[in-house]
Amino acid sequence: MAFLVCCAVIVIWGLSGPAFGYSETWQLVINTGTTIITFLMVFLIQNTQNRDAKAIHLKLDELIKGVGGARTGLVDLENMSDEELEDLHQEFEKLHKQVDSKLNKSHDKKKSGRSK
């Protein structure tokens, strides 16, 4: 609905051009209006993104809490220092490499078993 209202305003502004002689004031009206709306939309979008991120964090926290064996200390990641986050990142990188290595070995065994 907001998009249609904005489109209608632009059309009305464009059609009113000849009545105002396409003056600088006429141009300034749309420039000022769009600048103000853009400025306000930045805050609206940022607020929406913050709410969405908070909801996602809460959902992930609930999943961590509910999964047996999960490290509940990971719930508070956003409050860790950059060094702590980097250490955790390195830990997960090692885990990824181990999993990739096991998958590649498993894939190679299946491949060599088929070629016989």
Same structural domain for residues 74 and 85? no
Does residue 99 share a domain with residue 58? no
Domain residues for 60?
Answer: 1-79
Q: How far apart are CA 50 and CA 42, in angstroms?
A: 12
pLDDT tier, 114 (very low <50, low <70, confident <90, very high otherwise): low
The label of the residue with tokens 């004031």 reads: 25
Shared-domain flag, residues 86 and 70 = no
> What pTM was computed for the model?
0.56
109 shares a domain with 85: yes
Identify whether residues 58 and 16 lie together within a single domain: yes
Residue 13 and residue 64 in one domain? yes
Asked if 54 and 31 sit in the same domain, the reply is yes
Whether 84 shows a pLDDT value over 70: the answer reads yes
Do residue 43 and residue 58 come from a single domain?
Answer: yes
| Predicted confidence (pLDDT) at residue 50 exceeds the cutoff of 80 | yes
Residues 73 and 90 in one domain: no
User: Do the beta carbons of residue 17 and residue 26 sit within 8 Å?
Assistant: yes
* Beta-carbon contacts of residue 75 (< 8 Å; ≥ 6 apart): 61, 64, 65
Residue type, position 13, single letter: W
Number of domains the chain is built from? 2
- Do 85 and 73 belong to one domain? no
